[in-house]
């Protein structure tokens, strides 16, 4: 085991096709982030004013929910490497809970905005805030669906210590959803 | 394997701590008006650096890129550096 | 050819090529009218020729897609077509309806045609690409549904592959989005908004799925590369096409009165639309490099590679050029748009249909795998003539477009539309010249089918 892990590979673990997809997705987010930052540069007052209306406490909890969920996915992979399917299944279940917690908290935030009559046309800041977070929100939903498939597959015993490429690939996608949020959180909620 | 679990725990704890730190920096009622303590640019740079470190950790440890060599080893780090630079240019210039 | 019923595709392909010739003839007529305003007036006014040109294009591509499906679905599903009879019947229904519609355009003034066909009962006519009388549109829906039924049942009873599922998704999307052509609100903003649900979501959404699956089929057959590898590519290509293409519709909502956020959504998402096209290019070349067999049908491989490159250039590069709102502000509706429309349609959809025709036709006409070496040489000539002349058409129109933007919209003392058109006349002459070469290429393509001779084997040089 030790030896195997110290040898470096040329390609990232998991399916290369999925990594290409991850790159494409990251590119989309990068452009969105840059667009936010540059638009803010010419509307600093407006952005600072409305940024202050956001709920950073919920955003903190959301970040932790995603991190915890990612943590459990990694744990699930470590377990499968030891051929502990049961334990791996449990970890995956917990990571799905983490993702769902994110969705619920984000939805309370959205419903709060909606009750205040805020929408895409309210102003430029909210346009970006809503577009970016909602685009990410959709990715969380997709990620959870992938996790569900992984969970079912693990339960069925499809993955073993020697064969768990699917789990690693799906996990990588979920970490991507997580790391995008790690930029989004400071950028939109805190940086000024 | 014990080692993998331990690494995982350490990385996770680091990520959570860094997140808490980021959050605290945004709290007026805890640390007061930040502009009285440090200058706005430094404030921004601290936040950005934390974010970059976090993303790098996710790439290296959660996505296991530390087991890869060559171009793909840096794919996430490269992405976050580039994205971070764009954001920095927009915020600082 | 493995299954008897695949041969219904032949009818569809022949009709497609016939209508293609018609389309180009009308393109040339219009091209001449651009520089000689009264050419063929009043017999064929410009607006009528334009309708015929674009509608023939759409109709023959649809014939091509249907033919492609009838050919590849039985082979992929490893079973005979659900109902070859129905496929033949629908062919004639579609052909007759199409012919009557075109004759209607040519023989009756458009307003009279609208009245004759009862447009006032359910007004859908008078919008670009969707000029067909309402009854023709209903006919198209019936043909499309019957076709989908036939294809879906073939897939259901046989082997299900990623290629057929992606194809089916694309075809179903094609039918669904066409339904928006029946929605014609009085509010001009809404009208335009939903008009793009047909036009954009076709070419930059569901048609991409159709293209990707036909391309994958031709590549599997001509390279012998593992299906799993090709399927993986298909998944990421269609995922990217949908993520970027659906919201990318916004690049048409900049100036029509839609909310402001479309400036952002449209710019950002459509800026990424080139990605799936780029992936298709990489995909095609990768597969051909990794090939396990040398297929004797060289033109088919050439068309497949050609479509991957030209689609990226026409849609990806020429599309990107004017897709960001600050650029589109100046280029909207100029010759730049026409340049892009020509190369994108040709590169993505004309060439993919020609690729599958080129691959399938020899076998449907009783050969083992391909035509004679002499025929293949002529076909490859036609490939280069058409492709290069299309590149020139695009370049000339781009030149015309840049000048147009400059003189009419950008300079300190903007000139009026018609004054500018006269100044860029030279480009239109050159476009017409390149168009003639295109027609020659197309006629050579047709001619290549009539060249007999011994079937080429891999050893024969072409
Ligand atoms: C195979 C794919 C494509 C085809 C067949 C195609 C075709 C067309 C056509 C025919 C038009 C003119 C529509 C009209 O106003 O009548 C058009 C417009 C446009 N296309 Fe595409 N296109 C494709 C892909 C793309 C891509 C990938 C992009 C962006 C990267 C793009 C960007 C645009 C834009 C911005 C316009 C509007 C131009 C204007 O404002 O006048 N297209 N396209
Ligand atoms: C396979 C080849 C061709 C394809 C796919 C094609 C496609 C199209 C499309 C999509 C349009 C509508 C463009 C728009 O709305 O901006 C169009 C218009 C037109 N095409 Fe073609 N075309 C082809 C060949 C030709 C040729 C060979 C000529 C002439 C030399 C030609 C001349 C024209 C003209 C003059 C228009 C009208 C542009 C306008 O409204 O100002 N086309 N064609
Ligand atoms: Fe479009």
- Say whether pLDDT at C134 is over 70: yes
More confident residue, B41 or C250: C250
Q: With beta carbons less than 8 A apart as the criterion, state whether A185 and A63 touch.
A: yes
* d(C-alpha C336, C-alpha C258), whole Å: 23
Q: Is C208 in the pocket of ligand 1 (CB under 6 A)?
A: no
C-alpha pair distances (Å), C315 with each of C203, C302, C330 = 10, 19, 19
Contacts of B86 in chain A (CB under 8 A): 30, 33-34, 37-38
Residue B29's CB: how many other CB atoms inside 10 A?
5
* d(C-alpha B75, C-alpha C65), whole Å: 39
Q: Given phi > 0 = left and psi -120 to 50 = alpha, else beta, which region is B88?
A: alpha
**Partner residues linked to C455 by β-bridges:** C372
Q: With beta carbons less than 8 A apart as the criterion, state whether A101 and A23 touch.
A: no
Q: How far is CA C303 from the centre of its chain?
A: 14
- Measured in residues, chain C has a length of 462
Average pLDDT for C310-334 = 97
pLDDT reported for residue A2: 46
Contacts of residue C191, Cβ cutoff 8 Å, sequence gap at least 6: C127, C184, C185
Contact C275 A27 (CB under 8 A): yes
- Which tens digits make up the pLDDT trace of C422-461? 999 999 999 999 999 999 999 999 999 999 888 888 777 6
Position of tokens 């530390």? B66
- Which tens digits make up the pLDDT trace of C355-389? 999 999 999 999 988 999 999 999 999 999 999 99
Tokens of C144: 């499309």
Q: With beta carbons less than 8 A apart as the criterion, state whether A33 and B90 touch.
A: no
pLDDT reported for residue C281: 95
Q: Is C441 in the pocket of ligand 1 (CB under 6 A)?
A: no
- Which tens digits make up the pLDDT trace of C35-55? 999 999 999 999 999 999 999
Q: With beta carbons less than 8 A apart as the criterion, state whether A161 and A82 touch.
A: yes
Q: With beta carbons less than 8 A apart as the criterion, state whether A19 and A172 touch.
A: yes
**Partner residues linked to C160 by β-bridges:** none
- Say whether pLDDT at B40 is over 90: no
Helix (H) or strand (E) run with residue C117 in it: none
Helices of type H across C108-203: 110-116, 134-157, 162-178, 188-201
Q: With beta carbons less than 8 A apart as the criterion, state whether C140 and C200 touch.
A: no
* d(C-alpha A14, C-alpha A19), whole Å: 8
Tokens of A98: 């983490």
pLDDT reported for residue B1: 63
Tokens of C241: 């096409």
SS3 C27: helix
pLDDT reported for residue A1: 40
Average pLDDT for A76-94 = 95
- Which tens digits make up the pLDDT trace of A87-131? 999 999 999 999 999 999 999 999 999 999 999 989 999 999 999
pLDDT reported for residue C457: 83
Average pLDDT for A151-163 = 93
Query: How far apart are the CA of A120 and the nearest CA of chain C, in angstroms?
Result: 7
- Say whether pLDDT at B47 is over 60: yes
Quick one: A57-190 is in which CATH superfamily?
Cytochrome c oxidase, subunit III, four-helix bundle (1.20.120.80)
pLDDT reported for residue A3: 45
Long-range contacts, stretch B68-74, CB < 8 angstroms, 24+ apart: B68/A8, B68/A9, B68/A10, B68/A11, B68/A12, B68/A13, B69/A8, B69/A9, B69/A10, B70/A10, B72/A10, B72/A11, B72/A12, B72/A19, B73/A8
**Partner residues linked to C372 by β-bridges:** C455
Residue C115's CB: how many other CB atoms inside 10 A?
12
- Which tens digits make up the pLDDT trace of B10-35? 999 999 999 999 999 888 777 777 66
- Measured in residues, chain B has a length of 93
C108 pLDDT band, cuts 50/70/90, is: very high
- Which tens digits make up the pLDDT trace of C137-185? 999 999 999 999 999 999 999 999 999 999 999 999 999 999 999 999 9
Query: How far apart are the CA of A135 and the nearest CA of chain C, in angstroms?
Result: 10
Residue C347: half-sphere exposure toward Cβ, Cα within 13 Å: 28
Q: Given phi > 0 = left and psi -120 to 50 = alpha, else beta, which region is C40?
A: left
* d(C-alpha C408, C-alpha C242), whole Å: 36
B3 pLDDT band, cuts 50/70/90, is: confident
- Which tens digits make up the pLDDT trace of B64-80? 999 999 899 999 999 99
* ipTM rounded to 2 decimals: 0.92
Please give the number of the atom of ligand 1 that sits closest to the Cα of C251.
35
Tokens of A164: 């768990």
Domain ranges of chain B: 2-92
Nearest to B4 among A19, A78, A171 (CB): A78
- Say whether pLDDT at A4 is over 60: no
- Say whether pLDDT at C240 is over 80: yes
Q: List the single residue in C with minimal CA-CA distance to A125.
A: C261
Contacts of C260 in chain A (CB under 8 A): 121, 127
Please compute Rg for chain C using Cα positions: 22
What pTM value is reported for the model? 0.90
Contacts of A71 in chain B (CB under 8 A): 8, 12, 62
Average pLDDT for C386-409 = 97
Helices of type H across A42-184: 44-51, 56-81, 85-115, 124-155, 165-184
For ligand 1, atom 20, name the residue with the nearest CA. C319
Q: What is the biggest distance separating any 2 CA atoms in chain B, rounded to whole angstroms?
A: 48
SS3 C455: strand
pLDDT reported for residue A6: 58
Q: With beta carbons less than 8 A apart as the criterion, state whether C244 and C267 touch.
A: no
pLDDT reported for residue A136: 97
Nearest to A189 among B26, B44, B62 (CB): B26
pLDDT reported for residue B29: 74
Average of per-residue pLDDT values in chain B: 91
């Amino acid at each position: 085991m030790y030896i195997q892990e110290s040898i470096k590979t040329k390609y990232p673990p998991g399916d290369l096709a999925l990594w290409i997809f991850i790159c494409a997705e990251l590119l989309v987010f990068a452009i969105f982030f840059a667009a936010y930052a540059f638009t803010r540069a010419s509307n600093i007052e407006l952005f600072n004013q409305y940024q202050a209306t956001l709920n950073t406490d919920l955003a903190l909890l959301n970040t932790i929910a995603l991190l915890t969920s990612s943590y459990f996915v990694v744990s699930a992979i470590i377990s499968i490497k030891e051929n502990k399917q049961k334990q791996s299944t449990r970890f995956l279940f917990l990571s799905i809970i983490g993702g769902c917690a994110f969705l619920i908290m984000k939805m309370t935030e959205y419903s709060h905005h909606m009750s205040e009559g805020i929408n895409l046309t309210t102003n430029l800041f909210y346009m970006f805030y809503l577009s970016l977070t909602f685009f990410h929100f959709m990715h969380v939903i997709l990620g959870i669906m992938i996790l569900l498939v992984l969970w079912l597959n693990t339960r069925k015993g499809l993955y073993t210590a020697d064969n768990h490429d699917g789990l690693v690939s799906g996990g990588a996608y979920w970490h991507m959803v997580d790391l995008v949020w790690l930029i989004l959180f400071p950028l939109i909620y805190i940086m000024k | 394997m014990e080692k993998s679990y331990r690494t995982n725990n350490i990385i996770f704890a680091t990520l959570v701590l860094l997140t808490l730190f980021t959050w605290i920096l945004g709290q007026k009622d805890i640390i007061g008006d930040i502009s009285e303590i440090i200058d706005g640019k430094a404030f921004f740079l601290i936040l950005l650096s934390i974010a970059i470190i976090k993303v790098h950790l996710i790439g290296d440890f959660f996505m296991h890129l530390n087991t890869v060599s060559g171009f793909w080893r840096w794919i996430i780090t490269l992405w976050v550096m580039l994205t971070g630079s764009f954001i920095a240019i927009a915020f600082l210039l | 050819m493995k299954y008897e019923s695949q041969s219904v595709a032949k009818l569809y392909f022949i009709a497609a090529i016939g209508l293609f010739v018609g389309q180009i003839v009308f393109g040339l007529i219009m091209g001449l009218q651009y520089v000689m305003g009264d050419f063929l007036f009043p017999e064929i006014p410009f607006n009528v020729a334009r309708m015929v040109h674009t509608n023939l294009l759409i109709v023959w591509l649809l014939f091509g897609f249907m033919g492609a499906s009838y050919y590849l679905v039985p082979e992929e599903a490893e079973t005979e077509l659900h109902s070859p009879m129905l496929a033949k019947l629908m062919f004639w229904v579609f052909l007759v309806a199409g012919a009557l519609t075109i004759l209607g355009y040519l023989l009756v003034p458009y307003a009279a045609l609208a009245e004759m066909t009862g447009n006032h009962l359910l007004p859908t006519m008078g919008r670009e690409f969707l000029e067909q009388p309402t009854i023709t549109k209903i006919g198209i829906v019936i043909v499309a549904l019957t076709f989908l039924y036939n294809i879906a049942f073939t897939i259901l009873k046989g082997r299900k592959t990623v290629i057929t599922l992606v194809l089916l998704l694309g075809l179903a999307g094609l039918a669904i989005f066409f339904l928006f052509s029946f929605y014609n609100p009085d509010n001009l903003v809404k009208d335009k908004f939903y008009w793009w649900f047909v036009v954009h979501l076709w070419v930059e959404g569901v048609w991409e799925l159709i293209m990707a699956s036909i391309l994958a089929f031709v590549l599997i057959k001509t390279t012998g590369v593992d299906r799993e590898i090709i399927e993986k590519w298909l998944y990421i290509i269609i995922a990217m096409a949908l993520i970027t293409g659906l919201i990318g519709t916004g690049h048409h909502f900049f100036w029509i009165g839609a909310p402001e956020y479309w400036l952002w959504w449209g710019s950002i998402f459509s800026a990424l639309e080139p990605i799936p096209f780029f992936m298709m290019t990489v995909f095609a070349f990768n597969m051909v490099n990794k090939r396990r067999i040398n297929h004797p049908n060289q033109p088919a491989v050439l068309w497949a590679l050609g479509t991957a490159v030209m689609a990226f250039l026409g849609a990806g590069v020429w599309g990107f050029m004017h897709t960001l709102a600050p650029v589109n502000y100046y280029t909207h509706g100029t010759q730049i748009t026409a340049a892009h429309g020509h190369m994108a349609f040709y590169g993505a959809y004309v060439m993919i249909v020609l690729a599958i025709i080129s691959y399938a036709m020899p076998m449907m006409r009783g050969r083992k795998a391909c035509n004679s070496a002499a025929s293949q040489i002529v076909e490859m000539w036609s490939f280069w003539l058409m492709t290069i002349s299309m590149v020139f058409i695009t370049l000339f129109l781009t030149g015309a477009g840049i000048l147009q933007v400059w003189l009419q919209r950008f300079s300190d003392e903007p000139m009026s539309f018609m004054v500018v058109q006269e100044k860029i006349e030279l480009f239109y002459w050159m476009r017409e010249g390149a168009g003639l070469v295109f027609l020659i290429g197309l006629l050579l393509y047709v001619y290549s089918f009539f060249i007999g001779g011994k079937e080429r084997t891999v050893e024969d040089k072409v």
